[in-house]
Structure 1
Amino acid sequence: MDKRFSGRRIVVTGAGRGLGFSYAERLCREGASVIIAEIDPALGSEAEASLKARGLDARFVQVDISSESSVAEMARIAREGCDGIDGLVTNAGWANGVGGKTYDELTTEVWDRMMAINVRGTWLTVRAIAPMMRDGGSIVTVSSDTIYWGAPRLLHYVTSKSAIVGMTRSLARELGERMIRVNCLLPGLTVGEATKGIPEERWNDYAQKQLLKRKQMPDDVDGVVAFLMSDDSKFITGQTLAVDGGFSMH
């Protein structure tokens, strides 16, 4: 595989499993030195060991993205041994087991936790890493295609992911003067740890509404992240890109 990211350091949050790990693995395979920023020490260590066993350059750093001090420490460690960061994927967020409650059944505690992790956490991560980035770097924020069709019983989640799109556009304007690109990825329903509990009938219903009628796999998405990290997208910024087999079109 082409080593187009050789010599580049990229931070991927929530990279201990699922799509986050898939992004980290793809970037490593293309030559990047990847920081696996993960809250769960067991998952983070396992992800690091898995990649290193294949001769890939990865390092696990524990982080709670909702904590200002934790994010600052992660950023400090990520910068060690290099003169700057080249890329950031803000994949970490709260998604597992968040559905099932209607708008009037949600508690303020659950709502606030969702915003603290998905919205504040994304902002804190960018705020800590962007000043360390080399000019011309790339940031990929991660939202969800649910913002286009308004998934029911997921109001807090959809709202948090909608906020990330707006955040991306403002960040793109602010960081553009340093030629740092900021784009937003919107994955659709994807096979992985976060979707293990979804009933088969929902998978089938989703697939029938896609233009490409099959289940979405992690490798359907990680190539898009690599594209947005690469020089092939060097004049693309402030954009949202849904990767969901045509379930949504915008």
Structure 2
Amino acid sequence: MSGLLAGKRIVVTGAARGLGRSFAAALAQSGASVVMCDILAAELQDSADSLRQQGAQVEVQVIDLASPASITTAFSEIAKGGVIDGLVNNAALATGVGGKTMMEYDIDLWDRVMQVNVRGTWLVSQTAVPLLAQTAHGKIVNVASDTALWGAPKLMAYVASKGAVIAMTRSMARELGPQGICVNTIAPGLTRVEATEYVPAERHQLYEQGRALTGVQHPDDVTGSVIYLLSPLADFVTGQLLPVNGGFVFN
């Protein structure tokens, strides 16, 4: 897929580590200039430096999805570098939000997850639209989760937030289509990254044994779907949900 995104400038949130970092690396390998965004400033800089050493063209912006002011400031800085061709809404609160039943969840945790995962995705997209609309084929890829498709237990706030992202994608696609902007969602399965280290072993085993393609899911198993949806190959694809989970859930 080398060169498929040549000349494109793409923003990736949650890019300091895990899937986000893998997305940034894969996009750079496909020829894109990548704006890496995250709240983890030190890790973000380290990841960006590592990719630069590999020849990637990378910019860095610290962003807090819980803060509208932070989002506005970050995109004001991004705009100084020109328009953007794509946005990957990957950042989300996942670590530490599971393990409780719906009866045990507390309101503060629920509200925090919704603030970051749902409102943050909306605000980032809203702020990015003026930059995306200036290109011929702007693209937004939202990162949901297949937990919203099968109803993972003891994870309700996260599941609900990712279900909201899937639903938002469809409305966004309708509203932004007239501006030439495509909006799609991927729903990865449980992937072996830093954010899933806390997940109980039995949940990992459930996925690994329950997939049509049995085994562990790695970040590289997911990146190709994002490259495709950001590329000219997907210029007529919008409002769609693509599960990327080895066949644990079919859509």
TM-score (norm 1): 0.97
Letter in 1 for 2:184: N
Letter in 1 for 2:109: V
The number of residues matched between the two structures is 249
Distance 2:171 2:239 in 1: 8
1:98 maps to 2:100 = no
Aligned-pair identity in percent equals 47
Letter in 2 for 1:35: V
After superposition, what is the alpha-carbon deviation per residue over 1:203-245, rounded to whole angstroms, capped at 9, x for unaligned? 2222111100010010000011000000111111000000001
CA contact under 8 A between 1:140 and 1:182: conserved in structure 2?
Answer: yes
User: 3-state SS of the aligned residue for 2:183?
Assistant: strand
Indicate the residue corresponding to 1:129 in structure 2: 128
Indicate the residue corresponding to 2:172 in structure 1: 171
Distance 1:78 1:68 in 2: 15
Indicate the residue corresponding to 1:162 in structure 2: 163
User: 3-state SS of the aligned residue for 2:87?
Assistant: strand
Distance 1:104 1:205 in 2: 24
CA contact under 8 A between 1:66 and 1:124: conserved in structure 2?
Answer: no
User: 3-state SS of the aligned residue for 1:221?
Assistant: helix
Compute the displacement of 1:144 (Å). 0.4
Structure 2 counterparts to residues 184-199 of structure 1, below 5 A? 184-199=185-200
Distance 2:156 2:22 in 1: 27
User: 3-state SS of the aligned residue for 2:34?
Assistant: strand
Distance 1:125 1:105 in 2: 31
Compute the displacement of 1:199 (Å). 3.6
User: 3-state SS of the aligned residue for 2:10?
Assistant: strand
Distance 1:104 1:200 in 2: 23
Letter in 1 for 2:11: V
Letter in 2 for 1:236: V
User: 3-state SS of the aligned residue for 2:114?
Assistant: helix
Distance 1:136 1:225 in 2: 15
After superposition, what is the alpha-carbon deviation per residue over 1:72-92, rounded to whole angstroms, capped at 9, x for unaligned? 11111112232x110000000
Distance 1:172 1:135 in 2: 16
Indicate the residue corresponding to 2:4 in structure 1: 4
Distance 2:204 2:110 in 1: 26
Letter in 2 for 1:125: V
Runs of 4+ residues deviating >4 angstroms:
none
Q: Please, what is the CA RMSD of the aligned residues?
A: 1.0
Letter in 1 for 2:9: R
Structure 1 gap ranges (5+): none
Indicate the residue corresponding to 2:214 in structure 1: 213
Indicate the residue corresponding to 1:24 in structure 2: 24
Indicate the residue corresponding to 1:110 in structure 2: 109
Structure 2 gap ranges (5+): none
CA contact under 8 A between 2:20 and 2:91: conserved in structure 1?
Answer: yes
Indicate the residue corresponding to 2:35 in structure 1: 35
Letter in 1 for 2:233: D
User: 3-state SS of the aligned residue for 2:242?
Assistant: strand
CA contact under 8 A between 2:95 and 2:198: conserved in structure 1?
Answer: no
Distance 2:238 2:129 in 1: 15
TM-score (norm 2): 0.97
CA contact under 8 A between 2:169 and 2:185: conserved in structure 1?
Answer: yes
Letter in 1 for 2:141: V
